[in-house]
Amino acid sequence: MSTDTVIHHSETDPGAGVNTRKVFIKTYGCQMNVYDSLRMGDALASEGYVQTEQMEDADLILLNTCHIREKAAEKVYSALGRLREMKKAREAGGQELMVGVTGCVAQAEGEEILRRAPAVDVVIGPQTYHRLPEALRRARQGNRVVDTEYAVEDKFEHLPTAEKARIRSRGVTSFLTVQEGCDKFCTFCVVPYTRGAEVSRPLPQILDEAQRLAEAGVREVTLLGQNVNAWRGEGPDGREWGLGDLLYRLAEVAGLARLRYTTSHPRDMDDRLIEAHRDLRSLMPYLHLPVQSGSDRILKAMNRRHTAQEYLRLVERIRRARPDIAMSGDFIVGFPGESDEDFQDTLRIVETVGYAQAFSFKYSIRPGTPGAELADQVPEDVKAERLERLQALLLKQQADFAKSCVGKVIDLLLEKPGRNEGQVIGRSPWLQSVNVDAKTSQIGDIIPVRIIGTGPNSLFAEPARDVVGT
């Protein structure tokens, strides 16, 4: 799952001297990129950098890029063109400005970025950002650096631990990467080429980071992976653990009240993981399970390796285990060869499942993927018309699910202050944004609230004072 949002991370260091270097990190794309940016910030903090929200104040600007969306590379080059002018102006005044490109576009483009963008000093792939400080030292000596090799060493072992103060400044929810890469090779996807093969982070590292997050006040952790439910690791009992086993163990970490995970592949939803949804109250009743298409013919062309009926049977099993679970999904319309009937199959699977939230996109060619070589590309106007119809159905389902919440009493994790005095914004168990007046509560509290209304992108609630919270 990815987004088009751009996220700026900021940290302050009151004890830092006036000569402390500042870094601005601009983050595009998925939750894993957000996590990667945080860890890059941690690595740079150990080198004396502090983060700033103002690009103009930075001595180092990093673009942490995503390659999922259409024309992603060209958007990066456009941004680099603007940074070139900024760098020229800075150098004319005798000041240094270093520029780096990280993430999946860096992995895909490599040396081409240095050729097309003279302002860039370092290009770092997603598997080597633990080597960013060393790359910057080399670049400062006049050597432009490209490091996009898949690291032999474990990058997580080489990343410094975030201090509790920095964790607290990030809030009461946190991402935690447990798995990277993908072995599925869907024909539309660049992830296997930019993130590499599926790799699972060792169990002790995950537990150590989860413990540190909890001790710093984090109440909710979202486990991340390109195929997060492909995670495998050696358990303390000597047998191979899967994601379900990991969730049972994380549920024992004191202070962690909520667990989530994303993004899942239908082929990796095993019995133990479904049992975790049944047994663990801390595992939130929300599951992002992409299907991409409702047509078996298109699913085969996409190399998804499951049918529409297999997906529906899986959803049935999950809902039997956890009746209050809300489903989320991803959909691609206009994949090469998609007929009107194939598209109708997608509409049918959406109607059958009933999604509380979903992400839908027009197919766009990714150079180097098998889908780019397929004949019978669907015209853009046809893709646009189909996407409009699909999104209308998905938005109606999302609105219907929100309306079904009105009147319910739910446990709400308070995450941040709202716009109005006394207002607090939290997340429902189903990942909805909820506004509530909670003057007597604190950020990080989990309080019972009654849903009283819906908005375009959020719910409204009042404290349920007649209910004992958890």
Residue with tokens 């309306």: 403
Report the alpha-carbon distance of residue 120 to residue 103 in Å, rounded: 14
Q: Which are the contacts of 366, defined by CB distance < 8 A and separation ≥ 6? A: 67, 188, 189, 190, 372
Peptide bond before residue 263 is cis, with ω within 30 degrees of 0? yes
**Is 405 annotated among the ligand-binding residues?**
no
- CA 44 to chain CA centroid, Å, is 22
**Is 104 annotated among the ligand-binding residues?**
yes
Residue 331: both structure tokens together:
């959909």
Angle subtended at Cα 278 by Cα 453 and Cα 322, rounded to the nearest 5 degrees: 40
Residue 372: both structure tokens together:
């780019």
Q: How many CB atoms lie within 10 A of CB 15?
A: 7
Report the alpha-carbon distance of residue 79 to residue 103 in Å, rounded: 15
Binding site residue list for [4Fe-4S] cluster: 30, 66, 104, 182, 186, 189
Instruction: Extract the annotated binding site.
Output: 30, 66, 104, 182, 186, 189
